[in-house]
Structure 1
């Protein structure tokens, strides 16, 4: 003869109380396994070494005082990047040219026309015209 479900649940509840488990008769996923684990923050923080002072930090700190440094490795990387950019441009794969005017400006009187008008105005008033 099988025991009634309520009796089995009562027994399970007592068992969970004795062994310090959570009572979950519907078998829902509550994440208790993860919550019972020790916190890992200190272990992860101590895994990586503390940040030490680098050459770039010293360079940045003393640049206002006029310190000029030369890093051959950095200059080599810059030269290589310039060479690669030049090669890409030769193959037609380089960055597009920058636009000369802003996208949203539709000025009917560009600056050159304004300078000519100002020059003519000064000439009509018998003043010394501004150099163009």
Structure 2
């Protein structure tokens, strides 16, 4: 039995790859093809977790129900209390001259 030369085997493999539209990789380099062929995980993860209900959107969509978002009311009350104690957010500068950075010395 005669052995087949490696050059002929390489040509056969390259022809097979062109026929079956696969990637010809004679040096066996890492290509990442395994990960590109793998099934995507995103859609199944989205199906697994239930869709969240946004209370704020529901309240805005149906004002006739007169629902109250307790968390938002509490947040607004806390902001108001901080402002009374002088701990609130600073006023936004209308122009460059009003900003704190402009008044600070270098």
Q: TM-score, normalised to structure 1's length?
A: 0.42
Q: TM-score, normalised to structure 2's length?
A: 0.48
* Structure whose CA Rg is larger: 1
Larger relative contact order (CA 8 Å, sep ≥ 6): 2
